[in-house]
Amino acid sequence: MSKPSEELAQLRAQGLERVLHPLESPAGIRVIRNGKTLWNFASNDYLGLASHPAIIESFIEGIKKFGAGSTASRLICGTLAPHLQLEASLAEAKQSQAALTFSSGFATALGIIPAAVGKNDFVLLDKLCHACLIDAAKLSGATIRVFPHNDLAKLKSLLATIRAKSADAQILVATESVFSMDGTICPLSNLLDVVEAFDAMLLLDEAHGFGVLGPSGMGLAEQENVAHRITFQMGTLSKAAGLSGAYVCASQDWIQLLINKARPFIYSTAPPAAIAHATLASLQIIRSQEGNAHRNKLRQNIASLTGSDLQIPIIPHILGSNEAALTAADTLNDAGFLVPAIRYPTVPRNTARLRISLSAAHPHEAIASLRAALMP
């Protein structure tokens, strides 16, 4: 096994070493980094709610009412009223029987998949699935198969082959509503037709669809009116919701089983009740007319930058090499924009890119200036 210093040297030589770049300001639309003020096109605060006064006030109120920490895991004495209220509200909003919250999206995936399938079962992953879904599938011990991105014909072929040999196996198909590095959308209704034809389960990660898509911001499942057909709807509360944590919505039986089998839930201290309290305020805003106004502004910003009617605020500019992406990010930084260079292993090799994230909070001048900076 190589030494840490040797591995770091290899990463540097390949242009793959990551280092922390702390902000010297709150993580808003305008940030300060290394003493330079920048327009922030790197965050996932799609609706601008991370700095919403009502949510901040609710967070402060929650700390005063429930304290700064939860002091124990949910199964010991870490479950407080806001946790249960948030889970009930999420279940209702996502048109599901029940919900369970976790400390992060990664922890949610690690909780769901190993609880749902085991060594005699199968997990089928879209090639562009997030690392949390990949790692959770590996942890489950199930046999893993990967299908090309959004390729339903290949998925159908894989399912047919598996079912012909393993009639009784559990099969879990995992995908995302919005793919975080490409901004593509899964063909959800058609995918469900394929999944159901082979008596498989679907895990849909709505991390980047929650708050953005659907009549009330509840994601692609709401937009396509198929929530009742999805086994597990998971998502994060750290992006459009502006806070932290994550959730899974499922049947009452599945949620009760996760309470008993999801190890990240069982063996982690509960997220502070104050966060759940603030998230209730965020969820109310997302589903309100104010939330609709934020989504309309977000779509206007997307159109202003791209000249299209895209729904998704993730705009990739694929450049290929790590060096090209890093140089482009540095050039934009010099021009006053924070736009991250995304490299392997976050994206496949030779597809390094700039990843532009838009927010409803971006003013027109920021969008226009970035568009000018991106023009050749």
State the average pLDDT over residues 267-293: 98
DSSP string for 142-205? -EEEEE-TT-HHHHHHHHHHHHHH-TT--EEEEEESB-TTT--B--HHHHHHHHHHTT-EEEEE
Which of residues 233, 254, 286 is at a domain's end?
A: 286
- Name the active-site residue from 43, 96, 103, 180: 180
Widest CA span in the chain: 61
Which among 83, 130, 277, 362 is annotated as catalytic?
A: 130
Q: Are residues 88 and 137 in the same domain?
A: yes
- Catalytic site residue from 43, 44, 70, 282: 44
- Least reliable range by pLDDT among 43-47, 80-84, 128-132, 164-168: 164-168
Closest CA to 109 of 95, 123, 89: 123
Q: What is the pLDDT of residues 39-48, one digit of tens each?
A: 999 999 999 9
Least Cα distance to 147 among 136, 155, 137, 157 occurs for 155
Q: What is the pLDDT of residue 376?
A: 66
Q: What's the CATH number where 344 sits? A: 3.90.1150.10
130 counts as catalytic: yes
Mean pLDDT of 196-217: 98
The per-type count for the chain, helices as H runs and strands as E runs, is 14, 13
Average pLDDT value for residue range 322-347: 96
Q: How many domains does the chain have?
A: 2
pLDDT at 238 over 70: yes
Residue 1 pLDDT exceeds 80:
no
**Residue type at 221 in one-letter notation:** A
* Percent of the chain clearing pLDDT 70 (strictly above): 100
Residue pair 102/237 in contact by the 8 Å Cβ criterion: no
Is 70 known to be catalytic? no
Same domain, 297 and 276: no
Report residue 19's pLDDT band, with 50, 70 and 90 as the boundaries: very high
Nearest to 111 by CA among 259, 223, 12, 222: 259
Q: What is the mean pLDDT of residues 179-185?
A: 96
Q: Is 205 a catalytic residue?
A: yes
Q: Annotated catalytic residue: which of 94, 208, 277, 294?
A: 208
Residues 44 and 175 in one domain: no
pLDDT 10s digits, 346-375: 999 999 999 999 999 999 999 999 999 998
The catalytically annotated residue of 52, 83, 239, 277 is 239
Determine the average pLDDT of the residues in 20-47. Answer: 96
Q: Which domain holds residue 339?
A: 4-48+292-374
Kindly report, residue by residue over 143-158, the tens digit of the pLDDT: 999 999 999 999 999 9
* C-alpha span between 294 and 46 (Å, rounded): 9
State the residue for tokens 């993730």: 314
Counting residues of the chain whose pLDDT is more than 90, the rounded percentage is 98
**pLDDT score of 373:** 94
Q: Based on the residue annotation, tell me whether 277 is a catalytic residue of this protein.
A: no
- 10 Å CB burial of residue 235 (0-12, 13-18, 19+) is buried
* 191 and 271 fall within a common domain: yes
Q: Which of 176, 206, 222, 224 is catalytic?
A: 176
35 and 103 fall within a common domain: no
- Judge whether residue 2 has pLDDT over 90: no
Catalytic pick among 121, 182, 205, 222 = 205
The domain boundary, picked from 286, 316, 343, lies at 286
CB 282 within 8 A of CB 241: yes
Average pLDDT of span 192-211: 98
Q: What is the pTM (predicted TM-score) of this model?
A: 0.96
DSSP code per residue over 337-371: EE--EE-TTTS-TT-EEEEEE--TT--HHHHHHHH
Q: What CATH code is carried by the domain that includes residue 165?
A: 3.40.640.10
Region 183-212 average pLDDT: 98
Residues 93 and 27 in one domain: no
Residues 332 and 222 in one domain: no
Instruction: Give the tens place of pLDDT for each residue, 123-146.
Output: 999 999 999 999 999 999 999 999
Say if residue 245 is in the same domain as residue 277: yes
Eight-class DSSP state of 308? S
Mean pLDDT for all residues in the chain:
97
The residue from 286, 304, 330 where one domain ends is 286
Specify whether 261 is catalytic.
no
Same-domain check for residues 12 and 107: no
d(CA 37, CA 25): 9
Contact 105, 245 (CB under 8 A): no
| Contact call for residues 113 and 140 (beta carbons, < 8 A) | yes
Instruction: Check if the beta carbon of residue 140 is closer than 8 Å to that of residue 146.
Output: no
Q: In this structure, are 19 and 111 located in the same domain? A: no
In terms of domains, do 41 and 61 share one? Answer: no
Q: Are residues 253 and 305 in the same domain?
A: no
Q: Tell me if 234 sits within 8 A of 206, measured CB to CB.
A: yes
